[in-house]
Amino acid sequence: MTRQSFVSHIVWNLYFHPLSGLPGPKLWASFRLPYVISLWRGRLVYDIFEWHERYGDVVRVAPNEVSFSDAGAWRDIHCRRPGHKPFKKNPVWWGEVPGRAESIVSASTSANHERLKRALEHCFTDRALVSEEPLIQRHVAKLVARLKEQAEVSLDCSTVVNIVDWYMFTTFDIIGELCFGDPRAFDCLENKVFHPWVLEIFSYFRIGALFSTIRFYPLVEKVLMRLLPAKAMEAQERNYRWACNKVNHRLNLDVAQEDFMSKLVPQLDTSVGQSRTTSPDAMSLAELHNNAYVLTVAGSETCGTVLSGTTHYLLENRDALRELTKEIRDAFGSANEMTFGSLVALPYLNAVINEGLRLSPPVGGSLAHVVPEGGDTVCGIYLPADTHVGVHQWSTYRSSRKFHDASSFRPERWLELSKKDLSSPYYEDQRTGVQAFSVGSWACIGKNLGMAELRLILARMAWSFDMSLPRVGKRVEWGSQKQYVLVEKTGFDVQLSLRHG
């Protein structure tokens, strides 16, 4: 591109592009590079939040991208509207790694997504949740037992731990057995260290961000792909093959056990060649491999993020922690009474989790989609076809225009009294805008399982320990950690004291 054509391109983007009338930073509207640099730095979520605070609910954040922080955008972008074409997922962010079958998050067509969703949702029905609960209970009990062991050897019956690591040990062990049928697939809780596979996964989203930014430049994509670190790419492929081998091993086990594979094997296409001889919804073995890999990553990292963030905010808000602890200990005579069903009924526990999802969502940015052919409207604004759009969650959830005391952890905003009492400072909070599991046909199929896991782990921790911040230890400012799709979590120390009485 010559200097003259580059200048002409910027002038077009600023003054003649169909999106030129929308508010936003002029530099970012001129060309994509500022956006890319922000993403590489892990600052994109926070930079776009600043733009929303300055410009409002609709911000042009790149020449062909518009970010929304309006709750109504969830409906317009993610839900089916009569007379409107669906907004497909943005292939820049959700495109599949070359050579792999499509997964439920990367499906390039609505039809393929719906087919994979029908196959996978057998793992997440109410009936499936009942059958999977003993497995999850066992791992959570092991978490508590390991932490108690460390506290019991101390004279004051307490221990200081990196709570982020322990939460991640637990979520990976749970998803490892659910996906691969192997209770020791990762064995993090037993060994008190991360499995090498897990350590490699921590770079998964940073590599994914690099992949995505390269796709913004299709003319030089092949050249840029060759510049990616070879060792990092080899590690990702090695991790993927490990997961495939674990799936194959589980398929060869002639045992009856309640895990994801027990629900997915009947959905497996057993035909040879290109045509399906089983159900039209059946998955190929390659699809099973990739979807198991995706479920393993998504089912561990997301819950670990919310648990860590929620615990951080509870420790910073002692009144909320006391209220949660009281509710849990008053409700149960023993930890064994805590079931998925009984925990659903605890209002403050659920309020704590909802507030945790607001301030520490698994995905701080947008779940990116693309305006369909012919163009369409979002929040009443017409956008041309192929415009990149999304609801920016960090901006929607933390806006002082939408939430009272928006930056503070206030679980009471989710209680029924706050929703009904006109005098409550939280009465007008726009709670419907908080959709950490997304909405519509692309909503997370594992929401009920994820919520059950969050309730159980937080409840068992509050039941078993008096939690506090140690006088000396590693601290973290949750809203300043780097984000590459998910949060690049920094560990922080928590003092756990065995409860009295």
- The DSSP call for residue 14 is I
Residue 72 maps to a domain: yes
- What pTM does this model have? 0.94
Provide the CATH number for the domain around residue 175: 1.10.630.10
Say if residues 66 and 378 touch (Cβ distance below 8 Å).
yes
Binding residues for heme: 444
What are the residues whose beta carbons fall under 8 Å from the beta carbon of 207, sequence distance 6 or more?
228, 232, 233, 236
Binding-site members are: 444
Read off the pLDDT of residues 80-119 as tens digits, 9 standing for 90 and up.
999 999 999 998 888 777 788 999 988 888 889 999 999 9
**Per-residue model confidence (pLDDT) at position 275:** 42
* The 3-state secondary structure of 248-275, one letter per residue: HHHHCCCCCCCCHHHHHHHHECCCCCCC
Give the whole-angstrom CA distance, residue 356 versus residue 360.
Answer: 6
Beta strands in 147-215 (DSSP E): 158-162
Q: Locate all alpha helices (DSSP H) within 70-125, ordered by sequence.
A: 72-78, 91-94, 110-120
Residue 420 covered by a domain: yes
Distance CA 400, CA 382 (A): 26
At 277, is the pLDDT very low, low, confident or very high (cuts 50, 70, 90)?
very low
Residue 3 lies in a domain: no
pLDDT digits (tens, 9 = 90+) for 392-433: 999 999 999 999 999 999 999 999 999 999 999 999 999 999
Dist. CA 435–CA 274, nearest whole Å: 39
Per the domain annotation, does 5 fall within a domain? no
4 is a domain residue:
no
Q: With respect to residue 273, please indicate whether it lies within any of the assigned structural domains.
A: yes
CA diameter of the chain: 77
Domain that holds residue 401: 11-498
pLDDT band at 1 (very low <50, low <70, confident <90, very high): low
Count of the separate structural domains present in the chain: 1
Task: Answer whether 440's CB lies under 8 Å from 79's CB.
Answer: yes
267 domain-assigned: yes
